[in-house]
Structure 1
Amino acid sequence: MNKTLLIKIAFVFLLLPFFMNAQGNVNQAESSEEIGKYPQFQFKGLLQARYLESFGDNVDVLGMHHSTGDVTQSSFDIKRMRVGLNTKLSEATEVVILVNLADFKSDTKGKVLENAYGKYTFNKYIALTGGQFRPAFGIEELVPVDIIKSFDFSNQYYEFGKNGWTSFQIGASATGAFDIGKIPVNYALSVLNGNGKNQEMDKDNGKQYSTRWVFELSKTHKINLGLNGGYGKVFKEKVFAVGADITSDFKLTDRFTFDLQIEYKQGTNHNLYFSLPAESRTPNVADYQMRGIYFLPNLRYVVNYKKLTSLELSCRYETFDPSYKVDSNVRQTYTPMISLEFGKAYLGRIEMGFEIDRFDRNIPDSAYYNDNLFLIQLQLRL
């Protein structure tokens, strides 16, 4: 019996106790269905429209350097135009669909459809999700892009997404919560194809297994510690990913709050390894490892003056290296931002600031080039 099959069997047996514990709640859920009115529909939408201006030396608004000097350095853009539908088929069963219509502005292959999954909740201890979704593997995977404290997700989020651990993936997941003594714990166990969204099938027979555990260390200051780990095979090569993160939220006064996110990740960059010609790479995929860390402090002041709800100031600092063992080129990114919130829960939002990139080595005619990008972003959500 091979190791992969043993891992799959262990994964199933790990979930069995949760299933057995959940059976006693199924009848109760069914009786609730008779009382409630199903299906229930909830429509969601998000618009993010931006103005971009690059102050980099011959760098366009997408971050690409052009040695010819023929470059677009100012532009309006639709970053996201999402439309989503959440359907409750019963008290325990839901189906979620999310599409990004802004993807139609370019080649739509592998784009547009984002969420497409079903979820069944047995009880607080276990819920099963299957389809295309964002597996839990860090802070950003559990937060919608429209309520993050910066313009967009971090560089490490997108790079780990290319390697099958974050962003939208196809697979299955078990999630739930329980207490260890007085400490609340949330967990997630996922098995994924690992080759991104909207794929006809897995690129190989390998799967990627990941888990996330979050420990609530303080309810008063909302201090949470997250631990992540993953293992798998890609084209018969062993790959891994690990991470740790911490979040906190301090109420300074009745109007001022300060929250902080710190996240570290490291893992195999097999996406980079297999994209290189065989003659130009080392024979060992483990030589290609990515790692990064970011700090995101955010200060919020509640205004509640007419339609203006709050004022927020944030500045994310991130350092990320896509291959720190071979051909290292560290990217440091500073993202200072001021945000005006209108309505509750970021119903309307105007953001302004910079994305400042600095590389150890500038590579002409590539995206690995120093840049200063100015942004104004309008966000509307429903």
Structure 2
Amino acid sequence: MHKRTLRFVILLMLCSITIKTYAWRPVAAGKDSTVKDSSLHPVIGFIKKISFGGVFQARYTASLMKEVDVNGTHQANADEVVRNSFSIKRARLQAKAQVSDRFTAAVLINLAEFSGDTKGKVLENAYISYRWNDAVNFTVGQFRPSFGLEDLYPVDIIQSMDFSNQYYAFGSNGWQSFQIGVSMFGAFNKDSKVPVKYALSVVNGNNRNQPSDNDNGKLGTARLEFGDMNKLSFGLNGGFGAVKKQSVYALGVDVSGVIPLAPKWDLQLQSEYKRGNNHQLYYGMADSLRKDPIGKYIMGGVYVLPNFRYKINYHKLTSIEFSMRYEYFNEDQRHNGNVRQSYIPMISLAFLKDYGGRIQLGMQIDQYNKDIPGTKTHNSNLLIVQVQCRF
């Protein structure tokens, strides 16, 4: 199965290099009212454009703690703890088709996930979008519902080594990351001083690449964003739904903006606060260990991410950036949960446009209130060097 998939992917990559033409399809006698491209043949229509892109990230990781491996796992009695390693973090390939002036289809896969268990992995985006106008758009399929700042960026352009702990925790609970469902989104007052964007989503909430939902409940989310993220913006996020016949919720606020400091210096600032039910933790426990109803299992946290950027524009080098993300996260606030504090300082060299090339050097410093031997819930200090290419 893997061999067939790899052959298909290799063929797809070869096609991405050579294809720069249009795919033809027959058109019914009645003209498609959504098509307004004057370049269309009067009898035969065609897909306007097929584009390919992707990102490759490779990294070297070294653990600075004797009994902690490169994955942050504590291994006290191991014969040899692997404390340094080269690895491929992401090898993504995306295909996007502009079917008409209103319909778009997209598929995104991460080939790096073939290195381990591929169940529930590899396929990331797989959706169809329909654009009515600036204010009304729809997406159906597998996508990232908008429930915070980190849903608005691909991971290869964020100002840190990776997404936050809260992003992955809320993602595993169905509110963020790749989910299957439907979304409606749009923007108002685009030319005003305070533009407004919104997004409404309903998803299964049991994460990506699932054949169907695992219960009859669904998760609904809403986001309102005021302002311009290149200047100053403020976001409100809320969600409500049902998991195995029990009600769950999540909410959050976020702020982002860019502050010019000098002609070549600016400060990019992002901060988010979220809290909500941790139903994954609740249902992962044995019945005898549950102390309260699901409504009292609350996770929450906040992070602050300042990024200083020096625009250099020297040959292909576009900027030098310095960032320091601090995050506080508690997976179970009501039951004396194990607080995790993370410090991630980073310096990066950005090449070409939109991080087309990037070299990052950073640390991931995790500190827990209580260490649990033999697990990832343990203090760790990881040194990371990452190289990135977007195409």
TM over 0.5: yes
Measured in 2, the distance between the counterparts of 1:313 and 1:274 equals 40
Q: Is the 8 A contact 2:35 2:101 kept in 1?
A: no
Q: Is the 8 A contact 1:96 1:116 kept in 2?
A: yes
Residue of structure 2 in register with 1:165 after alignment: 175
Question: Helix, strand or coil for the counterpart of 2:100?
Answer: coil
Residue of structure 2 in register with 1:51 after alignment: 60
Residue of structure 1 in register with 2:316 after alignment: 307
Residue of structure 2 in register with 1:128 after alignment: 138
Report matched runs for 1:205-224 at 5 Å.
205-216=216-227, 222-224=231-233
> Does residue 61 of structure 1 match 2:70?
yes
Q: Is the 8 A contact 2:307 2:321 kept in 1?
A: yes
Residue of structure 2 in register with 1:194 after alignment: 205
> Does residue 178 of structure 1 match 2:188?
yes
Residue of structure 1 in register with 2:238 after alignment: 229
The AA in structure 2 aligned to 1:208 is L
Measured in 1, the distance between the counterparts of 2:339 and 2:253 equals 20
Residue of structure 1 in register with 2:267 after alignment: 258
> Does residue 33 of structure 1 match 2:33?
no
The AA in structure 2 aligned to 1:141 is D
Measured in 2, the distance between the counterparts of 1:33 and 1:237 equals 49
Q: CA offsets, 1:5-60, max 9 Å, x none?
A: xxxxxxxxxxxxxxxxxxxxxx9973523446633011011100000001124111
Q: How far did 1:179 drift?
A: 2.9
Q: How far did 1:364 drift?
A: 0.6
Measured in 2, the distance between the counterparts of 1:29 and 1:288 equals 51
Q: Is the 8 A contact 1:210 1:228 kept in 2?
A: yes
Measured in 1, the distance between the counterparts of 2:61 and 2:239 equals 36
Once structures 1 and 2 are overlaid, which stretch shifts more, 139-148 or 58-67?
58-67
Measured in 2, the distance between the counterparts of 1:251 and 1:85 equals 36
Q: CA offsets, 1:183-239, max 9 Å, x none?
A: 2110000000000000010010000000000001x68x6110000000000001110
Measured in 1, the distance between the counterparts of 2:133 and 2:199 equals 14
> Does residue 348 of structure 1 match 2:357?
yes
The AA in structure 1 aligned to 2:216 is N
Q: How far did 1:374 drift?
A: 0.1
Q: CA offsets, 1:132-189, max 9 Å, x none?
A: 0000000000101010000100000000000000000000000011139852110000
Question: Helix, strand or coil for the counterpart of 1:32?
Answer: coil
Q: Is the 8 A contact 1:29 1:91 kept in 2?
A: no
Q: What is the TM-score of this pair, normalised by structure 2?
A: 0.88
Question: Helix, strand or coil for the counterpart of 1:30?
Answer: coil
> Does residue 269 of structure 1 match 2:273?
no
Question: Helix, strand or coil for the counterpart of 2:61?
Answer: strand
Residue of structure 1 in register with 2:373 after alignment: 364
Measured in 1, the distance between the counterparts of 2:167 and 2:313 equals 33
- Cα separation, partners in 2 of 1:303 and 1:28, compared to 1, 3 Å: farther
The AA in structure 2 aligned to 1:107 is D
Measured in 2, the distance between the counterparts of 1:215 and 1:35 equals 38
- Cα separation, partners in 2 of 1:299 and 1:29, compared to 1, 3 Å: farther
Q: CA offsets, 1:103-144, max 9 Å, x none?
A: 000000000000000000000011000000000000000101
Q: How far did 1:305 drift?
A: 1.5
Report matched runs for 1:106-145 at 5 Å.
106-145=116-155
Measured in 1, the distance between the counterparts of 2:330 and 2:87 equals 28
Q: Is the 8 A contact 1:242 1:266 kept in 2?
A: yes
Residue of structure 2 in register with 1:42 after alignment: 51
Count of aligned positions: 354
Measured in 2, the distance between the counterparts of 1:64 and 1:31 equals 54
Residue of structure 1 in register with 2:27 after alignment: none
Residue of structure 1 in register with 2:331 after alignment: 322
Question: Helix, strand or coil for the counterpart of 2:132?
Answer: strand
Structure 2: gaps (5+ residues):
1-30, 41-45
**Percent sequence identity over matched residues?**
47
Measured in 2, the distance between the counterparts of 1:56 and 1:121 equals 51
Once structures 1 and 2 are overlaid, which stretch shifts more, 168-177 or 66-75?
66-75
